[in-house]
Amino acid sequence: MERNILLTIEYDGTGFHGWQRQPEVRTVQGVLEEALSRVCATPITIDGVSRTDAGVHALGQRATFSGDFGIPADRIPIAVNGLLSGTDREGDLRIIESRQVPSGFHARFDAKGKKYRYMIRNEENMAVFLRNYRYQVSETLDMDAMRTAASYIIGEHDFACFQAAGGTPRETTVRTVTSLDIFQEGEPGARDISIEIAGDGFLYNMVRIITGTLVEVGRGKIAPEQMINILDSHDRGTAGHTAPPQGLYLVEVYY
């Protein structure tokens, strides 16, 4: 009897060429499909919610797959994680949860929204051990200016200005950002800044471009109120730079 399984997955994106399966390179989808096919003793293809880029991390990626196999849903994480523990990249990918869902449920198409977190290390000399998990910005950032600029992003807008070229063409670039919060920890000169953004959907590199634009605001290169004109322009050229991938984390998917 065919069953439909929903996975919750976490991974360190450093050692992967992104989520999507590609020939001859290591990807999250490729590694998981190979392991699941062995555990389920049948070819498995998974559909993920977010096609994260190389270097991007996930705390709560979701994916579905279906098939006729004997292993109970709640035993799949144990079996797959055990199989992956014997590889030379042990510890950078793990299934957190596996449960059976109704037939026809799809991880991506049934998702109501997602939350991402972007981590910035705002200090002049960042520890080398953080290089794969933070975006280092040496200049002290103006947090109040960044929060003011962020307030203009919340709500329903045409976010074409925050879409990079090269992604899958979309029917519309209108999205709704439900929250955008900026937190900081630590003392000035050695602090982490966390940008958390949630919404009903995101365009290609949208979170990284929003982050890069907010960094430009924090540096004083873009006025906070200019965010209104950037959004109204629908032009990628008016927004700031694209922040690097290693600071980005997919935190949660909402259903």
> Which residue, chain included where needed, has tokens 């045409």?
158
Alpha-carbon gap, residue 220 to 140, rounded angstroms = 10
Q: Among candidates 14, 242, 212, 251, which has minimal Cα distance to 131?
A: 14
> Which residues have a Cβ under 8 Å from the Cβ of 162 and sit 6 or more positions away?
203, 205, 206, 209, 210, 213, 236, 239
Q: Has 53 been annotated as catalytic?
A: yes
Is 152 annotated in a binding site? The answer is no
76-84 and 28-40 helices, crossing angle to 10°: 120
Alpha-carbon gap, residue 60 to 31, rounded angstroms = 17
Helices (H), 134-225: 143-151, 206-218
Alpha-carbon gap, residue 213 to 194, rounded angstroms = 15
Q: At CA 154, angle to CA 149 and CA 158, rounded to 5?
A: 100
User: Which of 53, 74, 110, 192 is flagged as catalytic?
Assistant: 53
* Distance, CA of 95 to chain centre: 16
Q: Which residues are annotated as a binding site for substrate?
A: 116
By annotation, the residues acting in catalysis are 53
Q: Which residues are annotated as a binding site?
A: 116
